[in-house]
Chain A
């Protein structure tokens, strides 16, 4: 992957120096740009004054403890929830316009969005038909992707018989059926075994190499370190640090210890941050739907 030039190693939110080069006008070089994005659920502030820019063609890892606002941010960017304040553009389109974004963006939520009564192939055909992809093109793409993810032999079994890893891979396939320019992936490797994790990581790398922008959240630091061109850390709904993995590691250096984990603990200000883990893929803490998930 081509890593972009190192950006400012730290950014704040609200009044601190914004990274975005332009506000108000569309910047074609940006896949995502948010301006003071805010989301409040009742009395809970899930996202607070988020200023975020993601250049096109990069892999951006969005890190943060449980409840820090990762999932809410992803839902805002994919139009699946509406902001309380602020604005955002995805691929140059305001997030108030769902359909133009849906046509060009793929989204993998944390829970696999599948009808378990269907077979894997039926589920993919359903999504392809809803997207009105021409039949032959859809069938070819489904066959190729099923093969790429090692799901061909079980494609005609019902999803209810699939393991978690198979469901996650199938969900990822459905999110990329329409060849999206931007893939938003919420915890794509959470709870998967090493083999399934590796398959998904390989595909993400391939996509990024082809110029697809990847915006992923993860708790697994090794995944972020390995895949991401840029890492952003969100804490209490605010972007508290951003930069390429190497610059963040330098920032978090303590004596001889220099790692993304140390950087994370440093910027989130809590060495016992709930939900942090060592890369095993198992997330601590309880996941909730909303508000404040991820």
Chain B
């Protein structure tokens, strides 16, 4: 009975997940994203496996360490990555069943847990299967043996089953801590930002890599690395331990059902416990009263300069941002990279010549995501009220651009000039960077407003059970970032021979089948990319204005 319930719950969960991604006008974009993120890397993994198989068949080593040790390391890191993903998903929305009130009142908790676990295994399979199958086929063809066709997918299956049950249980425990401990609940936004900042600092200062390097020996000799032996069982030129391979399967066979039971107990405790803070809005005051003062910059100066409708848009964008800062977590990403460079500057005492450009790129990218990457969706339920005021598309778009540029233009200029002054940049390049600064920031915001209105997102995302924010759609973020990156990258390549040389070297190293790219080709290609990209902000602005003028609630 629990299995039947669990399978049914999982099936509904998976169908919902698939429909959510397919019953949308962005279906083909999502398919492209899947192909780009999974299909193409999967094929590359298969190609690398093919080359590796050939090397092994020829009796050559793949790395400085023993081949079996290499595979233990790879499997251990894949296992750790999958475990972290499942854990994070569980701490987030997956750690609480959808339609929980119905489910928990209808079937035992263990059935619900089983359903969630099976659904998570299905979702993990969707992501991992292309890699596992392509790698298995690649090894098999390269090494001329059939065994990888079985052992690599079998390894992936054990990784999926074990990481899901262990990650879910650990995630539920962390979730209990994050949602029921008063201090954590009260300071969750600050703590989340601190965690993200720490992660990025570790990542960008190479400390994470050092951490992994120091952990690698322990990881590959621990049970999570034993899967490496299973994955290369029967491969020529490798000497895996059949005992460890069988032991790995046996351990998983023991752990998975045990942790399904343990996970059920832990989930029951978490789901049925009282929250630390009221979930429903209380009738008490939220924050101090904020009377309207028509005497400040926001209520008098800006409306006097740009008109009341645009002034109102700027004012409300800023107030809402200050009062719900979680939705601006995107903006922090590039700033963390800049922060990491600044840490490096402080540690080494030297300012790299690239710092002003990096700062400019960070602020310009942030300019696009601050208020303009989802102007329609950000209106939420208030959209009909805003439309019915009769405000024009031009006012709406300019108001949002102004809300962004009043922050990012001065910030970008000050930061760029300050870093130019302390950097060893030659004066001509320094002048170009400073002069380009306002243009790049304005162009980024204008580009974003067009992309944001083309791919709006209206549904709120649960940050926690009681906090929901409307973030820009992933398609909008991706489309904006790619266009922005193409503009910056091609512009830099057109301007600088050094950049072209660097890019040519990198591409020649990265491209398969011995392909290479000359600096001349890069120069021509960059011009071909840059020219249309320079026009996109104008087109984006026109599109956004027209889109708002004709926007409906359909």
- Partner-B contacts on A (CB < 8 A): 41, 75, 78-82, 98-99, 102-103, 105-107, 109, 111-115, 117-119, 121-122, 125-127, 129-132, 135, 139, 156-158, 160-163, 171, 174-175, 289-290
In contact, B294 and A118 (Cβ under 8 angstroms): no
* Residue from A80, A103, A129, A131 in contact with B384 in the complex, judged by beta carbons closer than 8 Å: A80
Q: Residues of B contacting A163 with CB < 8 Å?
A: 283
* CB nearest neighbor in A for B323: A117
B299 shortest CB reach to chain A, Å:
8
Q: Residues of A contacting B315 with CB < 8 Å?
A: 126
Interface pairs (24), CB distance under 8 Å: A82-B554, A99-B390, A99-B392, A103-B390, A106-B388, A109-B381, A109-B384, A115-B380, A117-B324, A118-B320, A122-B290, A122-B316, A130-B309, A130-B312, A130-B386, A130-B389, A131-B309, A132-B308, A135-B308, A157-B286, A160-B286, A171-B385, A174-B385, A175-B388
In contact, A161 and B285 (Cβ under 8 angstroms): yes
Q: How far is the CA of A112 from the CA of B553 in the complex (A)?
A: 15
14 A-B pairs besides A130-B390, A156-B289 with CB distance below 8 A are A75-B552, A75-B553, A79-B387, A80-B552, A80-B553, A81-B554, A106-B388, A112-B381, A113-B384, A114-B382, A126-B312, A130-B312, A131-B389, A175-B385
* CB nearest neighbor in B for A125: B292
B525 within 8 A of A: no
* Residue from B319, B383, B385, B549 in contact with A127 in the complex, judged by beta carbons closer than 8 Å: B385
* Residue from A98, A118, A157, A290 in contact with B316 in the complex, judged by beta carbons closer than 8 Å: A118
A191 shortest CB reach to chain B, Å:
15
Looking at chain B, what size class is its interface with the partner chain? Answer: 35 or more
Q: How far is the CA of A157 from the CA of B290 in the complex (A)?
A: 7
Given A115-B316, A126-B315, A132-B309: A161 touches B388 (CB 8 Å cut-off)? no
Q: How far is the CA of A9 from the CA of B385 in the complex (A)?
A: 35
B308 shortest CB reach to chain A, Å:
4
* Residue from B303, B319, B549 in contact with A118 in the complex, judged by beta carbons closer than 8 Å: B319
* CB nearest neighbor in B for A82: B552
* CB nearest neighbor in B for A114: B382
Q: How far is the CA of A82 from the CA of B313 in the complex (A)?
A: 26
B282 within 8 A of A: yes
* CB nearest neighbor in B for A131: B389
Q: How far is the CA of A80 from the CA of B549 in the complex (A)?
A: 11
B371 shortest CB reach to chain A, Å:
14
In contact, A161 and B286 (Cβ under 8 angstroms): yes
Given A102-B390, A131-B390, A161-B281: A115 touches B382 (CB 8 Å cut-off)? yes
Q: How far is the CA of A103 from the CA of B381 in the complex (A)?
A: 20
B64 shortest CB reach to chain A, Å:
56
A243 shortest CB reach to chain B, Å:
30
A237 shortest CB reach to chain B, Å:
16
Q: Residues of B contacting A127 with CB < 8 Å?
A: 385, 389
B456 shortest CB reach to chain A, Å:
14
B335 shortest CB reach to chain A, Å:
23
B302 shortest CB reach to chain A, Å:
11
* Residue from A80, A81, A130 in contact with B391 in the complex, judged by beta carbons closer than 8 Å: A130
* Residue from A102, A119, A132 in contact with B388 in the complex, judged by beta carbons closer than 8 Å: A102
Q: How far is the CA of A121 from the CA of B294 in the complex (A)?
A: 12
Given A102-B389, A115-B320, A132-B309: A161 touches B283 (CB 8 Å cut-off)? yes
Q: Residues of B contacting A98 with CB < 8 Å?
A: 387, 390, 549
Q: Residues of B contacting A105 with CB < 8 Å?
A: 388
Q: How far is the CA of A88 from the CA of B307 in the complex (A)?
A: 33
Q: Residues of B contacting A111 with CB < 8 Å?
A: 381
In contact, A107 and B303 (Cβ under 8 angstroms): no
Q: Residues of B contacting A107 with CB < 8 Å?
A: 384-385, 388
Q: How far is the CA of A107 from the CA of B386 in the complex (A)?
A: 11
Q: How far is the CA of A105 from the CA of B287 in the complex (A)?
A: 34
B246 shortest CB reach to chain A, Å:
53
In contact, A119 and B290 (Cβ under 8 angstroms): yes
Q: Residues of A contacting B549 with CB < 8 Å?
A: 98
A28 shortest CB reach to chain B, Å:
22
* CB nearest neighbor in B for A111: B381
Q: Residues of A contacting B383 with CB < 8 Å?
A: 113
Q: How far is the CA of A256 from the CA of B158 in the complex (A)?
A: 74
B46 within 8 A of A: no
1/0 contact trace for B287-327 toward A, CB 8 Å? 10111101000000001000111011101100110011000
Q: How far is the CA of A122 from the CA of B316 in the complex (A)?
A: 8
A204 shortest CB reach to chain B, Å:
18
Q: Residues of B contacting A79 with CB < 8 Å?
A: 387, 552
B213 within 8 A of A: no
B9 shortest CB reach to chain A, Å:
21
Q: How far is the CA of A289 from the CA of B437 in the complex (A)?
A: 43
